[in-house]
Amino acid sequence: MPFVPAGRRRQRERRDHAPTPRTPMASAMGAGVLMLASLWATPAAALKLGSTDVAGIGGEARTNVMSRLSLSHHPAEQELTEARLAYLLRRAPGEVLTALEPFGFYDAQVEIESPRDGDTVNVRILVRPGRPVQVNQRDIVVEGPAADDKVVQGDVKAFRPGPREILDHRTYEASKAALERRLNGRGYFDAEPLRHRITVERASYNADIDVAWQSGQRYNFGETRFSGSQVHDDLLQPRIPYREGQPYSQQDLAELHRSLVDLDYFGFIDIQPLTDEKADGQVPIAVSLTPAKRSRYTAGIGYGTDSGPSIRAGLERRYVNASGHKFATQLALGARDSSLGAQYRIPTTSPGWPGWWSISPSIRRQQFGDVDSEIFEMVGARNGRWREYDLSLEAHLRRERYGEEQTTLIYPLARIGHTEADQPLYPTHGYAWDVSLAHGDPAFGSDLRFTQLFAEGRYIHGLGDRRRLLLRGQLGHTLVDNNERFPPSMRFYAGGDRSVRGYGYQEIGPYFEDTNLGGLKLAVASVEVEQMFNDRWGVAAFVDAGDAWSSDRPDPRLGAGLGMRWRSPVGPVRLDIGVGLDDPEHRFQLHLNIGPDFTP
C-alpha cells in the first residue's frame, strides 16, 4: 500500500442545537407514544451492499482508494443496517482524500451516490482529484564523511521527486530507502537520519522537502570468517575480491557470492557483515555455507531443429575430496552428433586468477552431409576469471578421421570473453563478446601449420517499454598450409538457429557435390527487434545474413522471418520461422532455441 503521511489532522464542523423546553404533560405524552411505537414497530428490512464503484481516477490511485474504503471491505454476504450504511458513507470522503494524498492530490472533491434497487444499495463515488501539489524546494543533505563519497552523492542528486515534479510520496519513500541502502552498502553503518520533513502549502499547491542524514564513519573490511564448508578454507580465500582494511562495499560481497556460486560446492550461501562486532573502524564478514549434494545425475531426451533428436546421461561429482577436486562424465547420442566425454578439474589458489586446472578426454562422431567424422581429443586447460574477463588457456591434442583422411592437430588455444548485462535471463541492456586464437605447427607435432581466429559479439539495447533491439555478429578466419587436409570439424559453417535463420543447420558453405565441406572464413550478422505483449509473451522480426567460404570473396546469404517469444520459468524460449531470400523456391525453416540471450 502506498505511503500515507502520518499525523494528518482533520477538523469537522460541529453545530450545537439548543434544546426545546418541554412541559411535564408533553413529556408524559411523548413517553406514551414511544411505548406504543415500541409495541407496534416491525424490524427494519435488512440491506445488502451491491457494487462499490470509484470513477474519475484510475491506475494505482484508484487501487489505493479502493483498498482504503471501508465500503470495499464490507462482506457481501453480511447484512447491512441503515445505521451501518450511514456510518460507512460518512467515512468514505475522508478515506478517499487520505488515499489520494500519497499521489500528490491534496484538494480533491468527492461526490457519493447510493441508489437502491430493492434492498440492494449500490455506491458510486465520483472523484475530482484537482490540481496536484508540486515540489517547490528540495534540500537533500548527507553530512559527515559521506559528503565526499561520489557514489552516495550520486544518489543525493538522483533523489526524487525533484523541483516542479508532482509530490508523489511513493517516489519520495523509494528515494529515501535507496539512499539509506546506499549508505549501508558503502559501510556507513552508524548513519542516522537528522530530518525527514515534507511541508505542504495547500493554498499554493507547493511542497518543500527537507531530508538530512549524518553518515558517521565508513567502516573497512575486517576478517572474513567461513563456516560450514566441506572443503579447505585455503580454496575459498582466493575467491575474496577485497583485502582486509579496504573500504567496505556491498558490491564486493556480491562479487564474493557470485564467485562462491561458481564453485558449485554449496547449496546455500549467506554473507553478512557482523555490525554488532564492528570495532576500530573495521567490520568482520561472516560467510555461512551449506554443502550441496556431492553427486548430481542428469538424463534427458530432446530435439533441436539444428541437432535433431538426442538423448543424454551424465554424472557429476561436485567435490571428490576436501581439496575441492571435481569429476564429470557425459554421454550424448544424437542423429548428427554423438559423444562420450569426461573431465577432471582441480581448483587453483591464485588470488589474481582464480579458476581451474582441467583435463578432458573425449570421443565424438559428427556428420557433415554424407561424410562421417570421428574425433578423439584430449584437452588440458587453465581457465578462470581474470579481472572482469573469462580467460582460458588450452592445449589440444586432436585426431580426426573423416572419409579416408586422418589428421592429427596439436595446438594451443587462448580464449577471452566478457559479459555485461542488467539481468541474467532477460536483459534490457547488455553486451557479450568472445575471442579465441589457435595455432598449430609441426614443431609441436601437428600434421598441419594453421592459425585460426574466431570472434563473436552480441548486443542488446532496450527501446522503451517491452521492446528490445538485438544485434549479433560472428567473424572467423583460418590460415592453413594444406586446405584439403584441414578437418571438417575445425572449419566454419553458417545457417541454423544461432547463425543465419531461414537456412538449415550448417547449410551455408562451399560444397563439393552434395556435401558442405565448410569454409576457412566466416562472417555472420543479425538484426532483431523483439516486442513483448506482457511479461510472458511477445513476437520478434529478424534479418540475418552471412556466409562461410574459402575463396577470395564471400557470397552472403540473406534470411528473414518472424518469431514467437515465451519467457518461461526456466528461461527464454524462441520459436522462429525464417526463409532464405536468395532462392525463391527455398522452403521455410523452423528454428527452436532455448536459453539466455548471452549463452554462447
Which pLDDT belongs to residue 9? 34
Helix-helix angle 59-68:82-100, to 10 degrees: 140
pTM of structure: 0.72
C-alpha cell belonging to residue 548:
562461410
Is 405-594 in CATH node 3.90.226.10? no
Tell me, what's the pLDDT at 157?
A: 94
Question: DSSP assignment, residue 62?
Answer: H
Is the dihedral angle over the CA atoms 443, 447, 451, 454 positive or is it negative?
negative
Rounded alpha-carbon distances, angstroms, from residue 331 to 300, 301, 313, 380: 11, 12, 5, 20
| Residues in CB range of 276: below 8 A, 6 or more apart | none
Peptide bond into 161 cis (omega under 30): yes
- Topology annotation, domain 134-214: Ubiquitin-like (UB roll) (3.10.20)
pLDDT at position 594 = 85
Q: How far apart are CA 572 and CA 112, in angstroms?
A: 49
Cα torsion 507, 513, 517, 522: sign: negative
Model pLDDT, residue 45: 59
pLDDT at 33: 32
Decide yes or no: CATH 3.30.420.130 for domain 220-291.
no
Provide the pLDDT for residue 423. Answer: 84
Residue 397 CA to chain centroid, in angstroms?
40
| Per-residue pLDDT, 41 | 39
**SS in 3 state form for 185-253?**
HCCCCCCEEEEEEEEEECCCCEEEEEEEEECCCCCEEEEEEEECCCCCHHHHHHHCCCCCCCECCHHHH
pLDDT at 600: 52
Residues of the chain with pLDDT under 50: 1-43
pLDDT value, residue 19: 37
Query: CATH 3.10.20.310 region(s) of the chain?
Result: 46-128, 134-214, 220-291
CATH of domain 46-128: 3.10.20.310
Domain with CATH 2.40.160.50 in the chain: 405-594
What pLDDT score was predicted for residue 367? Answer: 83
